[in-house]
Structure 1
Amino acid sequence: MAHSLPQELSVAPRGPLTGTLQVPGDKSISHRSLMFSALAVGTSHITGLLEGEDVLATAAALRAMGATIERTGDGAWRVDGVGVGGLLQPATALEMGNSGTSTRLLMGLVASHPITATFTGDASLSGRPMGRVIEPLSQMGADVTASPGGKLPLMLRGLCPAVPITYTLPVASAQVKSAVLLAGLNTPGITRVVEPVATRDHSERMLRGFGADITIEESDAGRIIAIRGEAELRPQTITVPGDPSSAAFWLVAASIVPGSDLVVRNVGLNVTRTGLVAALRLMGADITELDRREVGGEPVADLRVRHAPLTAIDVPPDLAPSMIDEYPVLFVAAAFAKGRTVARGAHELRVKESDRIAAMKAALEACGVPCEEYEDGLAITGTGGDAIPGGGRIASQLDHRIAMSMTVAGLHAARPVTIDDVAPVATSYPVFYKTLDEVSEEA
């Protein structure tokens, strides 16, 4: 799956952002909905699925391994699963595009099946490390031949029966945790993951909903998640809540653009994903929850956000796991706060679609925002609510979150901000710019 040709975009202020919008389905839950449905025996139905390139890469890979996945006429999705242990040998390489989640979680699935799969990806994904997943899956018996540095392309030969392990996560990573749990689904005995720092728990919630025997207990070493293998998953009807990572751009945009008043509907508020909301509120953001409810086993609410003066803070490092994907747009919020914001504890940003610490420092400095770089974050001196100077040309580095974050920055800049390529936004939020037109005066 290749990206389209580069799409340069110049972003200038459009006035207040107003109205109501709904963000696409949660990307993490969308991936897992397809994977768990593909491993169930029977037919599952999914509504609200994110139809971005990353999730479609997951669907294509699962089809290649035997699942039937189709979009129905009403915008819902139907998945006829093959059952745990039923994945078939793919005839060709699995093309992952830009999706690290697809790659790492599908590696976990393949690891305990008697099949061999080759994983490929675009230039950005091929630069991202897979060693953190290769290590535990190798302990379970999978044979992995990777490119130098533990990167794509790689070939993974699964082992069946695989070996159950107890694995302590060396880094806080929901993807690594999920890969091991998915491998454990088809592994006899009990596979355990010890999580010293809690990460998003969508896999645990959804596996339980599909009927897996999974337990979670707290210990001095952290959370211990145990899954009993050779599971039989039951098909489900799933409603995917709105993605808080996509909502993040609107929460920051409405906070910094004077006169803005937005309602973002159906936002997932799983406690493992709400770090940005907590950080923005600490900075003084005006964010109100409306109609809190449960959708598909996940807490959701409509969020009303109005322009408010932001004040610099030292971002609590313990928020990092619950907003790791939102740091780029948090850096943008800091650029408009009064004072010097220090946001650290985010080592993972170095190994995302780009080095998001270096990329955002370069982008903000190109727009006249003073930054200081740390190994695990940035310190940013804000304008106190005034427009940033702007005028920079931004390298998005094939990273959708860099492109969208700097689009937000350009909405309150003295001179237009030019982004070299916004095409990668289609990986997670295909209608982002259409939605921006709808909620701005430039509609």
Structure 2
Amino acid sequence: MDKTITTIRHLPETLSGGNDYYLTQGAIILSLFCDGETIISDYDDSGATDSTLEFLREFGLNYEKSWSQIGIRMPNGFAPSPKREYEFEGGAYPLGLILAVLAGKNIESQIHYTEKVGGHYIDTILRSMVNFGIGLKHDLKERIITISPSVLEPIEQKISSPFPHLKDMLLVLGISSGKSVAIREEYLTSNSLENLILGLGGKVTERESKREIMDDPDDPRRRFRRERPGYRREIMLHPSAKLRGTSVKIPQSQFMMIHLLTLAALKRGHHHFSEIPYSPEIIRWMNYLKSVGIEITEHRKKTEDGLKVVDLEIKSREFKARRASGETVAGLIEYIPLMALLAALSPETSLIRGIREYDLIYTGALGRVAENLGKMGVKCGVFEDGLVIEGTKELNGADFGPFISPGVALAFYIAALAGHGQSHFAGFDIVKNNYGRFVEALEKSSLYKVKLSDQSE
């Protein structure tokens, strides 16, 4: 399906629906190991959820799905089918968790994955698994992963990735195999899966490492700062606790909220939003918006159903160039395309460094970002670990797509809504199928005109 898009005039003040993709995937995977029924409510209703559920039917998972919840049971426990070759149509995150399940259960198998998943990223996570004695082979050209029977060694890993993917995969490997897991993270990633494991009756402990002010043993009048011991957080999974089925409510997607706030910034002007989740991830993004010249005022902070929310007022006129790298980029790694769009409206040159892993996970994503910015009249160069962007005064409508990465596609849907003039979006299904509730929320505002073509890919 193709789509013609014109500039959006007004934005909804809040979003309903569009719940967390990663937690939905994690809850489905963990339900494989739960005694009793697991009820997942307010789940992410994208096509990715159906892909994972259908794939796991092969291993004894029974489910009933309604518009509001999924009920999952394992009546006969984890029971792999006689066949050994499987096709998986989902993304990188659930594929990593599924590989951890099969390797932990020592199941000989062969999985063929699609171009949605970066093959070089798969190489990275498989190297980590091989370190623990798991028999793995990867045919990068044919996109096939082969798992052979093996004896699993202790699971201990220091992780330097800003994504939670590898950490979550190792935790699932520990649960699947019944082994303890020790992880040290260089960057603080989302601890959503750890909290989910705790909610299902598992045992996970965490300890953050912080700089300390110490007395100088040679001079009591002086003090010094002792640096972190090479990691930010230590995570331990203790396998003794049994997981039990329970009710899991998936929170609203912060990913969607951040895209809505960014759309407001790109449109310029004055916008109000109500009851925005006041989470660490959204606070980091608000701080980034402020750093590129966006004015944000907070009103009426409160707590509802245990969740902190806040009303926001956003004003944007002129954008500032930014050189982003290090922990700033690591903490917002999923939002590289949005950073690029903000940089595109700065009058000077912006740099975004330290994002090579984004390109590995989402195959060729940086090249796609640069290519589509170019279509909007923005000069963007790609180098080994980042982007250099020469800003312009406004984003022009353009012909976008088709895309492989849903996240990059969504960013340029935002760009089309904020851009000047009409845009044509080839293969809009990738946005509609993955972020349907977000698209629906914008369309329901009835404040911009959209014309669907009858063409299909």
TM-score (normalizing by structure 2): 0.84
Larger radius of gyration: 2
1:111 alignment partner AA: A
Q: Report deviation, 1:146.
A: 2.0
Residues 100 and 90 from structure 1, CA distance in 2 versus in 1: closer, same or farther, beyond 3 angstroms? farther
Q: Report deviation, 1:362.
A: 1.1
Aligned to 2:242: 232
2:252 alignment partner AA: G
Aligned to 2:71: 78
Residues 385-429 of structure 1 show CA distances to partners (whole Å, capped at 9, x for unaligned) of x432x2433334322122221121122333323332222224531
Q: Output the CA distance in 2 between the equivalents of 1:303 and 1:53.
A: 31
For the Cα contact (< 8 Å) 1:142–1:157, is it kept in 2?
yes
Q: Report deviation, 1:267.
A: 4.0
Q: Classify the secondary structure of the residue corresponding to 1:234.
A: coil
Aligned to 1:31: 25
1:236 alignment partner AA: T
Aligned to 2:171: 181
Aligned to 2:314: 306
Q: Classify the secondary structure of the residue corresponding to 1:330.
A: helix
Q: Report deviation, 1:361.
A: 1.0
Q: Classify the secondary structure of the residue corresponding to 1:431.
A: helix
Q: Report deviation, 1:113.
A: 0.6
Instruction: Extract unaligned runs of 5+ from structure 2.
Output: 210-228, 450-457
Q: Classify the secondary structure of the residue corresponding to 2:374.
A: helix
Aligned to 1:355: 364
Q: Does 1:64 align with 2:52?
A: no
Q: Report deviation, 1:52.
A: 0.8
Q: Percent identity?
A: 17
Q: Report deviation, 1:344.
A: 1.9
Q: Classify the secondary structure of the residue corresponding to 2:144.
A: strand
Residues 265 and 104 from structure 1, CA distance in 2 versus in 1: closer, same or farther, beyond 3 angstroms? farther
Q: Report deviation, 1:294.
A: 7.0
2:203 alignment partner AA: D
For the Cα contact (< 8 Å) 2:52–2:94, is it kept in 1?
yes
Q: Does 1:20 align with 2:10?
A: no
Q: Does 1:392 align with 2:386?
A: no
Q: Does 1:243 align with 2:253?
A: yes
Aligned to 2:264: 254
For the Cα contact (< 8 Å) 2:40–2:70, is it kept in 1?
yes
1:393 alignment partner AA: D
Q: Output the CA distance in 2 between the equivalents of 1:428 and 1:294.
A: 28
Q: Report deviation, 1:21.
A: 2.2
**Structure 1 residues 243-252 or 164-173, which shifts more?**
164-173
Q: Does 1:145 align with 2:137?
A: yes
TM-score (normalizing by structure 1): 0.86
For the Cα contact (< 8 Å) 2:112–2:144, is it kept in 1?
yes
Q: Output the CA distance in 1 between the equivalents of 2:333 and 2:114.
A: 22
Aligned to 1:44: 38
Q: Classify the secondary structure of the residue corresponding to 1:179.
A: helix
Pairing of 1:323-402 with structure 2 (within 5 A): 323-383=332-392, 386-388=393-395, 390-402=396-408
Q: Report deviation, 1:266.
A: 5.8
Report the aligned-residue RMSD: 2.8
For the Cα contact (< 8 Å) 1:145–1:156, is it kept in 2?
yes
Instruction: Extract unaligned runs of 5+ from structure 1.
Output: 1-6
Q: Report deviation, 1:313.
A: 2.4
Q: Output the CA distance in 2 between the equivalents of 1:290 and 1:60.
A: 43
User: What is the aligned length?
Assistant: 426
Residues 382 and 290 from structure 1, CA distance in 2 versus in 1: closer, same or farther, beyond 3 angstroms? farther
Residues 17-38 of structure 1 show CA distances to partners (whole Å, capped at 9, x for unaligned) of 2443224111111111112223
